[in-house]
Amino acid sequence: MFDIIVKKSKINGSGVFAGKDFKKDEIVVRWDLSRLIKKSDVQKISKEEKPYIAHVGGTYILMQPPARFVNHSCDSNTYVKDFCDVAKRDISKGEEITSDYSETETSDFKMNCNCGSKNCRGIIKRKKR
Protein backbone atom coordinates (compact mmCIF):
# COMPACT_ATOMS: atom_id res chain seq x y z
CA MET A 1 0.00 0.00 0.00
CA PHE A 2 1.24 3.49 -0.86
CA ASP A 3 0.62 6.57 1.32
CA ILE A 4 0.28 8.74 -1.78
CA ILE A 5 -0.43 8.03 -5.44
CA VAL A 6 0.21 10.17 -8.54
CA LYS A 7 -2.53 9.96 -11.15
CA LYS A 8 -4.62 12.11 -13.50
CA SER A 9 -6.20 15.11 -11.80
CA LYS A 10 -9.40 17.04 -12.53
CA ILE A 11 -7.55 20.21 -11.44
CA ASN A 12 -4.51 20.07 -13.73
CA GLY A 13 -2.53 17.27 -15.40
CA SER A 14 -1.24 14.86 -12.79
CA GLY A 15 -2.09 15.16 -9.11
CA VAL A 16 -1.17 13.55 -5.82
CA PHE A 17 -3.87 11.52 -4.08
CA ALA A 18 -4.10 10.06 -0.59
CA GLY A 19 -3.46 6.32 -0.60
CA LYS A 20 -4.60 6.16 3.03
CA ASP A 21 -6.40 8.37 5.53
CA PHE A 22 -4.29 11.19 7.00
CA LYS A 23 -4.96 12.91 10.31
CA LYS A 24 -4.78 16.68 10.80
CA ASP A 25 -1.13 17.85 11.22
CA GLU A 26 0.26 14.60 9.79
CA ILE A 27 3.00 14.91 7.14
CA VAL A 28 1.50 13.91 3.80
CA VAL A 29 4.38 14.63 1.39
CA ARG A 30 8.07 15.16 2.23
CA TRP A 31 9.82 17.27 -0.38
CA ASP A 32 12.96 15.96 -2.07
CA LEU A 33 15.49 18.77 -1.55
CA SER A 34 18.12 17.33 -3.89
CA ARG A 35 17.61 20.11 -6.45
CA LEU A 36 18.16 23.39 -4.61
CA ILE A 37 18.87 26.17 -7.11
CA LYS A 38 20.74 29.45 -6.78
CA LYS A 39 18.73 32.50 -7.79
CA SER A 40 21.29 33.19 -10.51
CA ASP A 41 20.62 29.72 -12.01
CA VAL A 42 16.81 29.94 -12.15
CA GLN A 43 16.86 31.41 -15.68
CA LYS A 44 18.94 28.42 -16.86
CA ILE A 45 16.15 25.95 -16.04
CA SER A 46 14.34 24.62 -19.12
CA LYS A 47 10.91 25.97 -20.08
CA GLU A 48 9.40 22.54 -19.30
CA GLU A 49 10.86 22.47 -15.78
CA LYS A 50 10.20 26.13 -14.81
CA PRO A 51 6.63 25.47 -13.59
CA TYR A 52 8.12 23.13 -10.98
CA ILE A 53 10.33 25.74 -9.33
CA ALA A 54 9.17 26.69 -5.85
CA HIS A 55 10.48 29.75 -4.06
CA VAL A 56 9.98 29.34 -0.33
CA GLY A 57 11.62 31.45 2.33
CA GLY A 58 14.40 32.61 0.02
CA THR A 59 15.16 29.07 -1.20
CA TYR A 60 14.60 28.01 -4.81
CA ILE A 61 13.78 24.33 -5.28
CA LEU A 62 13.21 22.38 -8.47
CA MET A 63 10.39 20.21 -7.15
CA GLN A 64 10.77 16.48 -7.71
CA PRO A 65 8.06 13.83 -7.95
CA PRO A 66 5.75 13.28 -6.21
CA ALA A 67 5.72 16.77 -4.58
CA ARG A 68 5.87 18.51 -7.98
CA PHE A 69 2.41 17.10 -8.74
CA VAL A 70 0.65 18.61 -5.70
CA ASN A 71 -1.84 20.94 -7.38
CA HIS A 72 -3.01 24.32 -6.12
CA SER A 73 -6.42 24.80 -4.57
CA CYS A 74 -7.89 27.97 -3.08
CA ASP A 75 -9.43 25.58 -0.52
CA SER A 76 -6.34 23.43 0.05
CA ASN A 77 -6.12 20.49 2.43
CA THR A 78 -2.40 20.90 3.26
CA TYR A 79 -0.02 23.65 4.31
CA VAL A 80 3.75 23.81 3.90
CA LYS A 81 6.00 23.41 6.93
CA ASP A 82 9.70 22.53 6.90
CA PHE A 83 9.54 21.57 3.20
CA CYS A 84 6.67 19.13 3.73
CA ASP A 85 2.99 19.23 2.86
CA VAL A 86 1.14 18.78 6.16
CA ALA A 87 -2.57 18.01 6.54
CA LYS A 88 -4.66 21.09 7.52
CA ARG A 89 -7.50 18.73 8.38
CA ASP A 90 -8.24 15.04 8.20
CA ILE A 91 -7.81 13.82 4.60
CA SER A 92 -9.65 10.75 3.33
CA LYS A 93 -8.12 7.99 1.23
CA GLY A 94 -8.62 8.85 -2.46
CA GLU A 95 -8.80 12.62 -1.91
CA GLU A 96 -6.50 14.82 -4.00
CA ILE A 97 -3.73 16.47 -1.99
CA THR A 98 -3.70 20.22 -2.62
CA SER A 99 -1.76 23.24 -1.42
CA ASP A 100 -2.49 26.98 -1.64
CA TYR A 101 0.52 28.20 -3.63
CA SER A 102 -0.13 31.79 -2.56
CA GLU A 103 0.53 30.87 1.10
CA THR A 104 4.14 29.84 0.46
CA GLU A 105 5.28 31.63 -2.68
CA THR A 106 7.67 34.46 -1.85
CA SER A 107 8.42 35.72 -5.35
CA ASP A 108 6.18 37.98 -7.40
CA PHE A 109 4.24 35.57 -9.57
CA LYS A 110 0.75 35.29 -10.95
CA MET A 111 -1.10 32.47 -12.66
CA ASN A 112 -4.68 31.59 -13.52
CA CYS A 113 -6.43 29.20 -11.17
CA ASN A 114 -8.68 26.36 -12.25
CA CYS A 115 -8.99 24.57 -8.91
CA GLY A 116 -12.78 24.43 -9.13
CA SER A 117 -13.37 25.08 -5.43
CA LYS A 118 -16.35 27.20 -4.42
CA ASN A 119 -13.81 29.63 -2.89
CA CYS A 120 -11.73 29.91 -6.09
CA ARG A 121 -10.04 33.32 -6.39
CA GLY A 122 -9.43 32.93 -10.16
CA ILE A 123 -5.82 34.16 -9.89
CA ILE A 124 -3.02 32.69 -7.81
CA LYS A 125 -0.59 35.30 -6.55
CA ARG A 126 1.57 35.88 -3.53
CA LYS A 127 -0.45 36.98 -0.52
CA LYS A 128 0.54 40.33 0.94
CA ARG A 129 2.44 39.85 4.17
pLDDT (tens, 9 = 90+) of the chain, 129 residues, equals 579 999 999 999 999 999 999 999 999 999 999 999 998 898 899 989 988 988 887 889 999 999 999 999 999 999 999 999 999 999 999 999 999 988 876 566 678 888 888 989 888 876 654
What domains lie within the chain, and their CATH numbers?
4-125 (2.170.270.10)
- Longest CA pairwise span in the chain (Å): 41
pTM over 0.75: yes
Write out the DSSP string of 63-116.
--TTGGG-EE-TT-SEEEETTEEEESS-B-TTPEEEE-HHHH--S--EEE----
pLDDT tens-place string over residues 75-110:
999 999 999 999 999 999 999 999 998 887 656 667
